Amino acid sequence: MKNIEGKHDRFFADVYDVVRLIPKGRVTSYGAIARYLGTPRSSRVVGWAMNGAGVYPDVPAHRVVNRNGLLSGKMHFATPTMMEELLKNEGIEVKDDKILNFKSHYWDPNKELAL
């Protein structure tokens, strides 16, 4: 495991930083984060970064879903139902592993952070 604060892992650190900025009750997509970091083609890498986010505190990985609002990463949590429960706990409706009214809950760092 490399040091998260090292330059070589800056991408991962940036991903975690953006995820922490996601407001409660909001969600975003891997692609949106990747694009905000300047690497729109690295959406899969964002997912990989999330895979290691579980060991860090204050990284609400459950607020990151794919572009369809589907809880594609639910199975990577402690329990497959944990992601859904966390989202529901924040006021987000989840049905059949998918976020209802996803468009309304969507939080785009490219717009909200409006760099």
Partner DNA sequence: TGATTGACTATGA
Partner DNA sequence: TTCATAGCCAATC
Footprint on residues 61-80 left by DNA (CB under 7 A): 61-62, 64, 66-68, 72-73, 76-77
DSSP string, the chain: ---TTSGGGHHHHHHHHHHHTSPTT-BEEHHHHHHHTT-TT-HHHHHHHHHTGGGSTT--GGGEE-TT-B-TTGGGSSSTTHHHHHHHHTT--EETTEETTHHHHB--HHHHT--
- In terms of CB distance, is 21 or 45 closer to DNA? 45
Residues in contact with DNA, counted by CB under 7 A, come to a total of: 32
Among the residue ranges 8-16, 85-93, 100-108, the one whose residues contact DNA (CB under 7 A): 8-16
The residues that touch DNA, with contacts defined as CB under 7 A, are: 2, 9, 11-12, 29-32, 39, 41-48, 50-51, 53-54, 61-62, 64, 66-68, 72-73, 76-77, 83
